[in-house]
Structure 1
Amino acid sequence: MRQLLAILFFLSYSALQAQSLEEINKQLESDIKQINYWYYEASANSKYDSLEAANIQFEKHLLKVLNNNPETLYHNFDTIIHTVSSPDKKLRAYSWDTNMGGTMRDFQTVFQYQTKNGVKAEKLTGKDNEPEDAIYWCNAIHSFKTKQQTIYIAVIYAKLSSIYSYTTVLFFTTENDSLTEIPSLIETDENGDTPGIEYNFLSTIDNPNAPDELIDFDPKKFILRFAKTDDDGNVTNSFDSYKFNGEYFKKVN
């Protein structure tokens, strides 16, 4: 009898934790509407505390539903929030504009990933395991396999001003059932910096010479490419290419 009651309690608890995708959509849509509402209120009446609270609530709800509902890893949320997935569909990024920035936009990104025991979702953490206040938007996720593990390449984007933007990559693994950011695997330049592109965003608009993707990856050739810019920060149709040699991406041109 006790065993039966325990099973019934577990099933009831699980039902309360899980939500239908329709319910999840409605909840997240409502949260986004609150962010947009308080954005206009903040602009008109300086209600910035309420805008921040709306973002905190959205992030809290998002992490909860992603952790408690494994099917969300494959669900289409594109009408609510920007999502990109890895080719193997085991890692996904959810990015949104908090509307708390000025011309330098404030983005937030949550990652969801497949583990051996289910699905997890989290924000990256910085020093002392404190949540990292990243201002980037995840634009794409590529992947490749080494002898030891699958490595994911997240293409991230930050808006620095009304004109200038920046894009680079982060490397991750999901080994040991945790999302781990690993040090850059790209050969640094003469200044010791990891490649990235600071560019004039306007140069990518209605420009037939601008590439569709400023950073791309060829999984068959293991080549990662970064678009070049001219002296004024305008994007060109030339690339710097880096080929993975088994240990890191080495510049080949």
Structure 2
Amino acid sequence: MKALNLIALFCFITVNKLVAQTPQAVEADLLKSFKKIEYWDEQQRKGGDGASESLEGANDEFGSKLKKYAETYPASISMPFNSLKKEQLDIFTSADGLFRIYSWDTWTGGTMHICANVLQYKAGDKTKSSLMNNPGDGGAPFYSNLYTFKAGDKTYYFGIYGVIESSRYAGTGIRAFAIQNGVLNNDAKIIKTQSGLHSTIFYEYDFGSVVDIPFEKRPTITFDQTTQTIHVPLVNAKAQVTAKFITYKFNGRYFEKIKS
């Protein structure tokens, strides 16, 4: 009888563990955690005591939880997470389904926005992730697009990212990633400039030069798979974004600037 009770208890625990691991439960748990960031941001704006520290804690909790789920539940790399997207968690997945970027504003930086990102990728039969919440080029980046580029037997992922440095200055960049030897390389040097091979192109600009242009029409970095070219807006000496572009074309080994 005691043995039967132990078996029943084991089954109960196992079933509940499985229920907690369903996609719906994972998304609900992440959503609950993500909403804490919004709550403490509102309290911070109201001048609540300890709100800033609680906001940082909420971001740490969500980032750690998202990273853990990204590794524990491999299927999460293809989950739509629509409820999280509605709450402004940006999610971009590569065309081959092997790489995904989760990006959000931590609301901890004032006029200089500090964002955080979880990078999730498949390497063989394993799914791995990393949390990036430290400032990058010119600030702490948020990702706004992801392109997939195949060159022979190699695959590169181009993440388009932006930074908000202040109420006046911002920046935009492109970073090349690659999954190599079971590890994500976030410094895949495939872009050649006058100073050598790099994994990124980044430019800063006066936000006032684009503020009156509808968001979807603003000049920005783009990648054209068909022509294998990267187009980067030209910024003049006054830090104003112009309608002209600089073009980098793939020559079989790396992307190199071509004459316009």
TM-score interval, smaller chain? 0.7 to 0.9
CA deviations over 1:173-197 (Å, ceiling 9, x no partner)? 1122221122432222479996322
Aligned equivalents of 2:185, 2:215: Cα separation in 1? 37
Structure 1 residue 248 corresponds to structure 2 residue 250: no
2:70 to 66, 91, 95: 66
* SS of structure 2 residue aligned to 1:45: coil
2:146 to 137, 141, 145: 141
Residue of structure 2 in register with 1:22 after alignment: 24
* SS of structure 2 residue aligned to 1:41: helix
Aligned equivalents of 1:209, 1:152: Cα separation in 2? 24
What RMSD in Å do the two structures reach over aligned CA positions?
Answer: 3.0
Question: Does the C-alpha gap of structure 1 residues 224 and 17 become closer, same or farther in structure 2, counting only changes over 3 Å?
Answer: farther
Question: Does the C-alpha gap of structure 1 residues 17 and 95 become closer, same or farther in structure 2, counting only changes over 3 Å?
Answer: farther
Question: Does the C-alpha gap of structure 1 residues 192 and 92 become closer, same or farther in structure 2, counting only changes over 3 Å?
Answer: closer
Provide the aligned length of Structure 1 versus Structure 2: 240
Q: Which runs of 4+ in 1 moved over 3 A?
A: 11-18, 131-134, 189-195, 208-213
Structure 1 residue 156 corresponds to structure 2 residue 161: yes
* SS of structure 1 residue aligned to 2:86: coil
Residue of structure 2 in register with 1:227 after alignment: 233
Q: Which runs of 5+ in 1 are unaligned?
A: 125-130
CA deviations over 1:130-166 (Å, ceiling 9, x no partner)? x755511111111212234211111111111112111
CA deviations over 1:45-88 (Å, ceiling 9, x no partner)? 35222111111111111112221222221222222411112222
Aligned equivalents of 1:114, 1:213: Cα separation in 2? 33
Residue identity in the other structure for 2:112: M
Residue identity in the other structure for 1:45: G
State TM-score, norm by structure 1.
Answer: 0.82
Cα distance, 1:227 vs structure 2 = 0.9
State TM-score, norm by structure 2.
Answer: 0.80
Indicate conservation of the 8 Å contact 2:191/2:197, yes or no.
no
Residue of structure 1 in register with 2:130 after alignment: 122
Aligned equivalents of 1:100, 1:182: Cα separation in 2? 27
